């Protein structure tokens, strides 16, 4: 998959009035939308669907970490390992993921796809969130990266996306 194909797929979910529900969506990468039952999805379900893979995996790293689920915590864990699907990046670029894990004071992490970078800074992200659903009536939006401005946010690259020269 090329970066422009990833962004086209992600943007194809805009305007579908997707509801936010934790743990929903992203199981069937061949589905016409990332949402599952009741037109609902969460952030990692959305990202997995955009990447063309199921959020359920039998990769040993994920099976050992959390029973085989690709979610925010497992993406961060993967990025800090030498094996898996994601590699940590120092600088953001269009097509990378921006992600932070859950913490004791923060019960849920969040992940999105970087869609715009200016002067080395992320300026737009497409993501699925409860905040988007409450504000716009549609959980999937392309927004400034405000929600990702927490200290432990990292950038990762999915190995299935061709890096542009």
Kindly provide the b/e burial profile for residues 62-74, where b requires at least 16 CB atoms within 10 angstroms of the residue's own CB.
beebeebbbbbbb
**Cα gap 3→8, rounded to integer Å:** 9
Q: How far is the CA of 66 from the CAs of 56, 59, 96, in angstroms? A: 10, 11, 23
How is residue 53 written in tokens?
Answer: 């893979």
Instruction: State the distance between the two ends of the chain, measured CA to CA, in whole angstroms.
Output: 14
**Cα Rg, the chain, nearest whole Å:** 14
Domains in the chain with CATH codes: 3-158 (3.90.1720)
**What per-residue confidence (pLDDT) applies to 165?**
52
Closest CA to 46 of 159, 133, 116: 133
**Residues 21, 128: Cα–Cα separation, whole Å:** 10
Per-residue pLDDT 10s for the chain (165 aa) are 999 999 999 999 999 999 999 999 999 999 999 997 789 999 999 999 999 999 999 999 999 999 999 999 999 999 999 888 999 999 999 999 999 998 887 788 999 999 999 999 999 999 999 999 999 999 999 999 999 999 899 999 999 888 765
Structure token pair of residue 58: 């039998």
């Amino acid at each position: 998959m090329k970066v422009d194909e990833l962004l086209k797929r992600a943007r194809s979910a805009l305007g579908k009035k997707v509801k936010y529900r934790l743990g929903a969506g992203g199981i069937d990468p061949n589905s016409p939308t990332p949402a599952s039952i009741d037109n609902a999805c969460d952030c990692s379900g959305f990202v997995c669907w955009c990447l063309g893979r199921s959020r359920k995996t039998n990769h040993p790293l994920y099976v050992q970490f959390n029973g085989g689920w690709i979610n925010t915590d497992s993406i961060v864990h993967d990025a800090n390992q030498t094996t898996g699907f994601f590699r940590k990046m120092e600088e953001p670029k269009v097509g990378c993921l921006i992600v932070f894990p859950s913490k004791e004071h923060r019960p849920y992490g969040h992940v999105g796809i970087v869609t715009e970078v200016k002067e080395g800074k992320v300026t737009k992200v497409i993501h699925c969130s409860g905040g988007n659903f409450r504000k716009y009536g549609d959980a999937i939006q392309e927004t400034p990266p405000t929600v990702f401005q927490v200290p432990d946010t990292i950038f990762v690259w999915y190995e299935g996306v061709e890096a542009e020269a």
